[in-house]
Amino acid sequence: MPSPVMYERFPVRIRELELLRRVWVSETMLRLTCGGPGAKGFVSKAFDEHVKIIFPDPQTGELRVPTENGDRLDWPRPFPTCREYTIRAWRPDDLEIDMDVVVHESGIASDWARQVQVGQTFPVAGPPGAWMIPDDYDFYVLIADETALPAVARWAEEAPAAVRGAIIVEVPGRGSEQGLDLPDGVSLTWLHTGGAESDATLNAARALDIDADPERVCVWLAGEAGMLKPLRRWARDELGAPKEHCSITGYWRRGVAHGGH
């Protein structure tokens, strides 16, 4: 039996990072490369871990950040305006951290990502922990929307060369696709939904050819909470994957400004 998927908590830190570079990786996603002295001591252990970028209060402009208290943070009240982003890559020798931001027409994080200047610093908290996915499964299923694409891409890059699995990613359109470095035994399906609710992802999951014992399959699902509900039932009732072999995380909720994690 494969090892269960386990959540590991990390010592949580608050640090000031500097924007080093900003590039478009697709028509709808910006990559922010940050680092500087504040990145010293940073640790990145898992492909789906995230940090909080802390923004000034949209009403008062006040920037309120937490303080370190041992291995945790004490957060001010009311809670500061934050958004969570996956660590797409960490290059410790260069003290560089990549975070990919989905850009919308408007929104606190989206507007900030377009406007932040190289050399500008900003506070980042975390990561607080991550789901640790063992390497001893016979087959991996990763299903995500665009917000979870950075985690999927990192998993594909860091997975063992002999791994077998299938990836399904729901994006608005072809311009949101990215080139992923996939192991030979992993398939990739892009779904173009225009950002609308759709059964396409569930139907694609049902169509997967999973040539493995369900008890030796790892299922990782992440993205919009409503999209994940039928996929959770599919993994449990149709695929038959044990609960302890699944990681299912709502990154955001349709119609809610900050309803993820």
Q: How confident is the model over 134-158, as pLDDT tens digits?
A: 999 999 999 999 999 999 999 999 9
Residue 198 is predicted with a pLDDT of 81
Residue 261 has pLDDT above 50, yes or no: no
Integer Cα distance of 253 and 96 in angstroms: 30
Residue 46 is predicted with a pLDDT of 94
Contacts of 175 (CB under 8 A, 6+ apart): 26, 27, 28
Residue 258 is predicted with a pLDDT of 55
Other beta carbons less than 10 A from residue 156's beta carbon: 20
Integer Cα distance of 127 and 150 in angstroms: 15
Which structure tokens are listed for 191?
A: 């779904």
Residue 241 has pLDDT above 70, yes or no: yes
Q: How confident is the model over 183-218, as pLDDT tens digits?
A: 999 999 999 987 778 899 999 999 999 999 999 999
Number of H helices, E strands in the chain: 4, 16
Highest mean pLDDT among 88-97, 195-204, 245-254: 88-97
Contacts of 93 (CB under 8 A, 6+ apart): none
Q: 148 in helix, strand or coil?
A: helix
Q: Is 223 exposed, middle or buried (0-12, 13-18, 19+ CB in 10 A)?
A: buried
Terminal alpha carbon distance of the chain: 29
Which structure tokens are listed for 26?
A: 């697709």
Nearest of 49, 42, 81, 50 to residue 65 by alpha carbon: 81
Residue 260 has pLDDT above 80, yes or no: no
Integer Cα distance of 91 and 107 in angstroms: 29
* Peptide bond between residue 160 and the one before it cis (omega within 30 degrees of 0): no
Nearest of 228, 89, 200 to residue 150 by alpha carbon: 89
